Each structure stands twice: as structure tokens, then as C-alpha cells.
């Protein structure tokens, strides 16, 4: 009898303990949070990093993958003939050097020697031929990309030379030769590129556990002397931003994006780096449907929607305003000053609406995806802004899959908001989604001058003249008020203070090749 009572008492104590610790105040929480960074650093810091990623890759096969999130990870495994630089330019990758003929049609690449695949085999010209054949669907399979429709032929005159001939000159062609578009993979691995991906990059594939993580290990025979430093890279999948930041604080991950509103919680204990995402966050319209087929209405929207409101409340200030698709992250390619073309002006917006035949405003609907809170938050600000000019906006929040189906592919919508992912190439930024020759033009914008520019720029080889074309294209986007170009938001990366060597690119890529833990 007595024993039982003791036991019951113990149980009660246990329960009470849990309750008390659940109610304890956060004074001691702050102390323990700092513990990881105060721990004395030992000289043999393990060179192993855990990077948090929002979602699983779609494919590990670099030719099959399309989602930016996949490349964020797998670009560490694969390389292309050309390699991206952090400033958006290109340098030689697996090609040691290249030459472009006068007419801009023949590209001759000299292949780097001494490069090994992760399985120990040497990189040969057959592997390069195989990779391009696979992409273009020439070795039996289906065509895997539309990027090489312009290629007339490919050939390998000797064991270190690879020649690509184009049908028409294309000044953007080199951008299709990075690992993002044309990774070089070994012929011997045919049929297993997704199950057991093999490349030449700084890290080799170890294991993929769906929903859990992707593990890579150091490529000991990487052709860049002395690189990489890390022995092991783990990309851990965690969809919830709030949970991810707790993992960062608990030292379970070494690198993650930090929700803008929570930056101050980690700014003392962790290293923060700000990446201009190079994406453009837009509020856009179906330009074939009334009233947005009227340029005056679109301009009125531009005058009425406050970029500052959105930047402050959704991104806590971590964003730069835009005037076209092009972000300042693209340097000289960006036409400066367009972001001020439509300064917030309610009276002007009202006047434009009246001129367009809507003196009392109208009713409309904005359809946004639920996969990230930012879209519905933006929609709320847009609705509030537009109410002031008499436009009544109904907000419809749908699942990502439905958004893709209905808005992006189905084009059955009137208004939406989305961010267009950053690309390394100015051409792709301006052509994709906008010009009529692009199948992804989901706001159905149509402008002859714009299409001509996008066609002409490909024939231009002089960079200064290309820039002039691109800047004019941006002016057209602003003049025609194609969208409300809101902002390029920053991604704030929080990392362990010991992590150094992180690089940021104008697109999504966690380049781990030069990362290490300092002592």
C-alpha cells in the first residue's frame, strides 16, 4: 500500500516537473542559447556542415531536375563546360578555354584534362558527347530540354576538343552550358543518374533519404587543387521556417534562411549574410481580361500600390524596390531609376481610372498561393491600397498545386502575386515569362517592340550594345505597366559563426566548395 502511494507520488512529481519546465520564463533561455557559441573551440573542428533546405529536390538527375531548390544542392555534385560566377558572369568550368567563331555560330571548347568523375573514371570526350546527346534526345531517349533546339550539330574532332554549331547566332548560348542547364555526366552511369548521381563537382553523392536529408561527401580527387575543405555536407529538409530557426539556435543546423521578422533573435549569436535574391516580386494581371487590358488601369495600379508598405511589413525592410523585372543584383544590366517611375499617388491613380472609364472603381479578385505566407500578406496590403482608389479586391488563397494549374498554366485569373526566380542571364530574366515567344508568359503581355528587342539582342555580340537593348526592354516594361514590380527581397542567411567561405550567387546555389569551419 505504502509502496503504491510512493510510486503515484513519483509520477505526480514527474508530471509536475514537466509542467513547471513548460512554464519557466525565458530568462534562462537566453543564456542557454548562447552556450553553443561560447563553447571553447577545439582545434580539430569537424569539417561537416548541416544546411537546412525547405524542400526535397525534384530529381537528382541534373538533366531531369527543374526546380531551383534542387539545383541549390546538386550544383555541388555536377559541373558544366562553363561555370557561374557570383557576379552573374561566366568562367570556364570543365572547358579549359573556348573560342567563338566570327559569325557567332561555332563554339569550340578545349576540355580540361585530369578531371575525374566521383566513381574514379576519367572525364572523356565521349562523356561530354553523351551528355549533350542525352539532353537533345539523340541517343534514343526523349529530348530533355528545349535549350538546345538551336543546336545544329555537335562533334568531337579529337579527344580534347568539343565543337557545338548553332543554327542561328545566340549571344546567350554560353549560359546554357553551365551545370544548371547542361551538366556533364558519365556515360557509364546511363540509366542510374537519378538513383546514383555521379558528376565531377567538389562533392560526391552519398545518400538521399526522402523527406529527411541529402548527404554528400568530399570529392578527394577534385581538379581544383586544395578544394573542397568540408568532409561532409548534409542538406536537411525542413519546411517550416519557424522550426528551422529553432534548429539553428539549438545548433542542429549550421546554415538556414532566417525569417525577416526574426532576424533580431539570432543577430548576436550567429553570423548573418544578406543575399540579394535577384528575383522579382510582382503583382501582376491577366492582360487579356478587362479591366487590365487597359494600360491606364495598370498604371493606376502602379500608382496606388505602395511598395514601401509591402517592403516594410512583409519583408521587415529587407528588400529593394524594383521598376522592372531586373534587380540591382544584375549590376550594369539594370536600368536605374525605373523604380521611381510610379511614385505613390492616389489622386493620379484615381484620375487614370476615371480616364479608363472606371470613375467609381471596380471589383476584382487576386489569386495567391498558400505555400508561402508572403503572398497572402502582400495580397492584404494590395487590397488595402486599392480600396483607397475605389477598387474592391477579393483575396483568394489556393494551394500551390492549384495556383500552378489555374493561374500559371491555365491563365484563368485576373490578378496574382508571385516572385519570379532569379537567373544568371539577363536575357532569361527579361525573356522568360514576358516575351510572346516564351511559353511561360502567364500574364499574356504582348508588345511587338519588346519581342523584336528580345530577338535582336541574341544576334548582338557586343556587350555594351546588348546592355542598351536590355535597358530599353526594361523601359518598355515600366512604360506599359506590365506588372507592379514590387521588390527584390533579400534572403537573410543565418550561419554558425565558425562557418566561413559562403558565397552568394544571383540565383539559388549553396556553393559549398570553399566553405569551412574556422578554428
Partner 1 sequence: MMYMIRRFILLMTTILLVSMITFGVFQILPGDPVRTMLGTEADATQIENLRSELGLDRPLYEQYTDWIKGLLTGELGHSIRFSMPVKDLLLDRLPVTMSLAVLTLTIVLMVSLPLGMFAARRQNKLSDVSLSTLTQIGMAVPSFWLGMMLILYVGMQFSFFKISGYIPWSQSIAGALSTLILPALTIAIPQIAVNFRYVRTAILEQMQLDYVRTIRSKGMSERNVMYKHVLKNAMIPILTVFGLIMAEVVAGTIIVEQVFSLPGVGQLLITAISNRDFPLVQGIVMYITVAVVVINFIVDILYSVLDPRIRLR
Considering only CA atoms, which of 82, 136, 134, 86 is closest in space to residue 112?
Answer: 82
Residues in contact with 167: Cβ distance below 8 Å, sequence separation at least 6, in sequence order:
105, 150, 151, 152
Q: What does the CA dihedral 129, 131, 135, 137 come to, rounded to 10 degrees? A: 60
Instruction: State the nearest-atom distance from the C-beta of 441 to partner 1, in Å.
Output: 12
Nearer to partner 1, 343 or 400 (CB): 400
Measured from the CB atom, the residue of 22 and 464 that comes closer to partner 1 is: 22
Cβ-based nearer residue to partner 1, 364 or 369: 369
Instruction: Give the whole-angstrom CA distance, residue 281 versus residue 485.
Output: 6
Cα gap 328→490, rounded to integer Å: 12
Comparison of 2 and 91: residue with beta carbon closer to partner 1: 2
Q: How far is the CB of 501 from partner 1 (least distance, A)?
A: 25
What's the closest the beta carbon of residue 405 comes to partner 1, in angstroms? 5
Provide the grid cell at 44.
580539430
Dump strand ranges (E) for 423-476: none
Grid cell, residue 68, equals: 531551383
| Shortest separation between residue 15's beta carbon and partner 1, angstroms | 7
- d(C-alpha 481, C-alpha 88), whole Å: 27
Cα separation, 391 vs 385, in Å, equals 9
* Residue with Cβ nearer partner 1 (14 or 308): 14
CB closer to partner 1, 35 vs 308: 35
Cα of 206 vs its chain's centroid, Å: 24
Neighbours of 91 (CB within 10 A): 9
Preceding omega of 274 cis (within 30 degrees of 0): no
Nearer to partner 1, 163 or 246 (CB): 246
CA distance 182 to 84: 12
Give bridge partners of residue 515 from the DSSP assignment.
none
In whole angstroms, how close is the CB of 34 to partner 1 at the nearest point?
12
Binding site for partner 1 (CB under 8 A): 1, 4, 7-8, 11-12, 15, 18, 21-24, 28-29, 32-33, 35, 56, 58-59, 64, 66-68, 142-146, 194, 209-213, 236-240, 243, 246-247, 249-250, 252, 371, 399-402, 404-406, 408-409, 418, 420-421, 439-440
Shortest Å distance, C-beta 342 to partner 1: 26
Q: How far is the CB of 364 from partner 1 (least distance, A)?
A: 21
Q: Closer CB to partner 1, residue 281 or residue 386?
A: 281
CB of 323 to partner 1, least distance (A): 22
Q: Which three three-digit cell numbers place residue 482? A: 506590365
- Looking from the CA of 369 toward its CB, the CA atoms found within 13 Å total 15
Amino acid at each position: 500500500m505504502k509502496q503504491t502511494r510512493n510510486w503515484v507520488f513519483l509520477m505526480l512529481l514527474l508530471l509536475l516537473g514537466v509542467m513547471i519546465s513548460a512554464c519557466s520564463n525565458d530568462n534562462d533561455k537566453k543564456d542557454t542559447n548562447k552556450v553553443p557559441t561560447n563553447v571553447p573551440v577545439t582545434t580539430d573542428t569537424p569539417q561537416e556542415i548541416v544546411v537546412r533546405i525547405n524542400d526535397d529536390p525534384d530529381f537528382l538527375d541534373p538533366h531531369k531536375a527543374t526546380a531551383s531548390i534542387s539545383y541549390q544542392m546538386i550544383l555541388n555534385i555536377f559541373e558544366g563546360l562553363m561555370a557561374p560566377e557570383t557576379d552573374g558572369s561566366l568562367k570556364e568550368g570543365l572547358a579549359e578555354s573556348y573560342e567563338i567563331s566570327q559569325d557567332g555560330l561555332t563554339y569550340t571548347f578545349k576540355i580540361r584534362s585530369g578531371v575525374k568523375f566521383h566513381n574514379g573514371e576519367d572525364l572523356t570526350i565521349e562523356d561530354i558527347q553523351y551528355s549533350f546527346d542525352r539532353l537533345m534526345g539523340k541517343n534514343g531517349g526523349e529530348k530533355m530540354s528545349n535549350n538546345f533546339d538551336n543546336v545544329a550539330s555537335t562533334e568531337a574532332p579529337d579527344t580534347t576538343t568539343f565543337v557545338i554549331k548553332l543554327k542561328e547566332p545566340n549571344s546567350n548560348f554560353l549560359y546554357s552550358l553551365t551545370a544548371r542547364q547542361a551538366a556533364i555526366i558519365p556515360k557509364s552511369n546511363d540509366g542510374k543518374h537519378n538513383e546514383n548521381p555521379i558528376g565531377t563537382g567538389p562533392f560526391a553523392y552519398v545518400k538521399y533519404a526522402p523527406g529527411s536529408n541529402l548527404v554528400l561527401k568530399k570529392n578527394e580527387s577534385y581538379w581544383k587543387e586544395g578544394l573542397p575543405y568540408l568532409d561532409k555536407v548534409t542538406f536537411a529538409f525542413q519546411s517550416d521556417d519557424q522550426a528551422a530557426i529553432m534548429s539553428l539556435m539549438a545548433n542542429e543546423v549550421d546554415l538556414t534562411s532566417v525569417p525577416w521578422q526574426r532576424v533580431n533573435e539570432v543577430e548576436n549569436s550567429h553570423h548573418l549574410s544578406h543575399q540579394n535574391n535577384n528575383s522579382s516580386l510582382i503583382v501582376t494581371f491577366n492582360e487579356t481580361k478587362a479591366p487590365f487590358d487597359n494600360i491606364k488601369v495598370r498604371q493606376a495600379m502602379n500608382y496606388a500600390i505602395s511598395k514601401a508598405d509591402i517592403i516594410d511589413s512583409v519583408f521587415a525592410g529587407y528588400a529593394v524596390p524594383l521598376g522592372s523585372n531586373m534587380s540591382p543584383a544584375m549590376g550594369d544590366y539594370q536600368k536605374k531609376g525605373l523604380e521611381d517611375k510610379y511614385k505613390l499617388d492616389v489622386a493620379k491613380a484615381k484620375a487614370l481610372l476615371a480616364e479608363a472609364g472606371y470613375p467609381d472603381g471596380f471589383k476584382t479578385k487576386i489569386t495567391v498561393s498558400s505555400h508561402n505566407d508572403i503572398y497572402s500578406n502582400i495580397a492584404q496590403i494590395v487590397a488595402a491600397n486599392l480600396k483607397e482608389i475605389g477598387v474592391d479586391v477579393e483575396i483568394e488563397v489556393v494551394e500551390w498545386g492549384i495556383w500552378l494549374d489555374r493561374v500559371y498554366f491555365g491563365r484563368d485569373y485576373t490578378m496574382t502575386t508571385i516572385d519570379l526566380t532569379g537567373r544568371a542571364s539577363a536575357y532569361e530574366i527579361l525573356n522568360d515569362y514576358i516575351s510572346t515567344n516564351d511559353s511561360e508568359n502567364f500574364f499574356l503581355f504582348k508588345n511587338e517592340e519588346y519581342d523584336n528587342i528580345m530577338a535582336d539582342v541574341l544576334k548582338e555580340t557586343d556587350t555594351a550594345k546588348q546592355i542598351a537593348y536590355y535597358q530599353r526592354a526594361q523601359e518598355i516594361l515600366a512604360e506599359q505597366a506590365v506588372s507592379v514590380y514590387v521588390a527584390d527581397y533579400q534572403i537573410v542567411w543565418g550561419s554558425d559563426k565558425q562557418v566561413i567561405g559562403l558565397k552568394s550567387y544571383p540565383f539559388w546555389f549553396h556553393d559549398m566548395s570553399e566553405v569551412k569551419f574556422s578554428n
